[in-house]
Amino acid sequence: MTGKDRVIHDPLHGGIRTDGVFMELLDRPEMQRLRSVRQLGLGNLVFPGANHTRFEHSLGVYHLAGRMASSLQMNADETRTVRAAALLHDICHPPFSHTLEEILGNVTGLDHMDLARKLIHGEIPYMPESDRDLFGGMEPLSKLLEDAGIDPGAVCDLIEYPRSRSGGLDLFMSDGSPQSFFENKDYIHQIIHGPVDADQMDYLLRDAHYTGVVLGTIDIDRLLSQIRIDNGRMVVGKGGIAAAEGLMVSRALMYSSVYYHKTVRIAEMMLTKAAEISGADLSELYLMSDCTFINHIVGTGGRASELARKVMSRRLYKNAYVLQNASMSDDAKADLSRYAGYADRKSLEAEIALEAGLEDHEVVIDIPSKSILLSKVKIGKTDVYISDDEGRMKPIFRISPLAKALQSREIFDWAITVSSPQEHTGKVAAACRRVLSFDDAEGP
């Protein structure tokens, strides 16, 4: 190590080495904000240990992306680019992580990945006005990257697009070698957004560790020893099938047991409602920490303040009406899906509240996305490709009965939940039955 290197101790990965521009990026206010954004949002209301942050997750993804690049024998320029993208991939995540993503999109018209491009290029503020005395005059992150010989546009492309354009991401064009079946090197993109990527490997391990559940065990060493490049795509050798299955099992169980825990979802919907009715300026939500966001909402007073304080005190609404997936026909799901969009869901909340004789803020609805409601494939990132000794590639679900079963496993066992203050659940349940007219719903 040189005097400019730093080893950061991480409870999952041990010593993580950073140097040069990556140390500079870590010390920027854009990255330091992530120390105050919980990785699991409101998950600590159910899992008390879940107080880890987006900062340590980003550091873990950076570490694993570097290990993957080494396993794939990527060149120095590719490695530095993918490590930078890994470190910065969550740089514009809103407070409480996924909880406020809908609010962020509704207010800005962009998701956190789109905003990251603008932030990196200095097209939007990189700090709140109150911190200008500390950080004013800093050059945009793109200048740091350029000075280090890293293309900021390539970094942003890796962060921003969860699917490759035209079948792949045209960041690093192939050199015409016999391996060039695809027009580009899609494996670089797959390190950040792929079926076996650094992002999910870190968050599954990290979230399991801090929640205390025993569902996130992944054999990372085995996976990294088995990944390879085939026709421009990252694939897993047949010796890694069991490790790939383990990753998929972990992902499926963590989604149903942690990420979509019903109590956490109610808290998230309540906090979202508080933001909606607050009247607060949320145009720079991506610059707020968990604490500054709560103070911002509480400072508006009224119902929004009350609702936010209830969430933080764990005085949560209760389920009044639940429709289970198993009890619904495909036609019923199609009918319900018309409420899955943000505006339509808000309209339905208002209609049910009116029918129940309540105020809008006393009813919150949770519905999966339309694609999840209607799709037969419920768990994403199952398109892991396995390469045998002869170089033939097959999707893992054609080889593994376990992978095939996981591909159709429901993320949600419910299609809609409607929640309200406990004293009003009876009225809300009755209003839901009149407004929605679905059979087999569960009430309080």
Domains of the chain in start order, with CATH, are 1-166+180-212 (1.10.3210.10), 222-259+378-411 (no CATH), 317-368+412-444 (3.30.1370)
Query: 243-259 burial string, b = 16+ CB within 10 Å, else e?
Result: bbbbbbbbbbbbbbebb
Q: Work out the number of other CB atoms within 10 angstroms of the CB of residue 241.
A: 18
What are φ and ψ of residue 207, in 5° steps? -65, -40
Amino acid at 292: T
pLDDT for residue 383: 75
Distance, in Å, from the CA atom of 365 to the CA atom of 420, rounded to the nearest integer, reads 9
pLDDT for residue 434: 94
**Beta-bridge partners for 229:** 234
> CB of 141 within 8 A of CB of 152?
yes
Judged by DSSP in three states, 201 sits in: helix
pLDDT for residue 134: 87
CA separation (Å) from 113 to 26, 193, 205, 239?
A: 18, 12, 23, 34
Distance, in Å, from the CA atom of 66 to the CA atom of 87, rounded to the nearest integer, reads 10
pLDDT for residue 381: 54
| Residues in the chain, overall count | 444
What are φ and ψ of residue 278, in 5° steps? -75, -30
pTM, entire model = 0.91
Across the chain, which has 444 residues, the per-10-residue mean pLDDT values are 76 95 96 97 97 98 98 96 97 94 91 94 92 88 97 94 43 36 70 93 96 88 94 91 93 90 95 96 95 96 97 97 87 89 93 96 90 57 77 86 81 88 97 84 67
Distance, in Å, from the CA atom of 158 to the CA atom of 81, rounded to the nearest integer, reads 9
298-303 long-range Cβ contacts below 8 angstroms, 24+ apart? 302/277, 303/274, 303/277, 303/359, 303/361
The token duo for 423 is: 């004293």
The token duo for 227 is: 């990944």
CA angle 80, 84, 89 (to 5 degrees): 150
The token duo for 267 is: 């808290």
Q: Positive or negative, the Cα torsion across 26, 30, 35, 41?
A: negative
The token duo for 399 is: 């080889």
pLDDT for residue 181: 32
Distance, in Å, from the CA atom of 58 to the CA atom of 85, rounded to the nearest integer, reads 10
How does DSSP classify residue 327?
G
Cα R_g (the chain), whole angstroms: 23
pLDDT for residue 9: 97
pLDDT for residue 180: 34
Helix (H) or strand (E) segment spanning residue 320: strand 318-324
The token duo for 182 is: 């695809």
Burial class (CB in 10 A: 0-12, 13-18, 19+), 380: middle
Strands 414-420 and 318-324, by their bridges, are antiparallel
> CB of 87 within 8 A of CB of 116?
no
Phi-psi region of 20 (alpha: psi -120 to 50; beta: other; left: phi over 0): left
**Beta-bridge partners for 140:** none
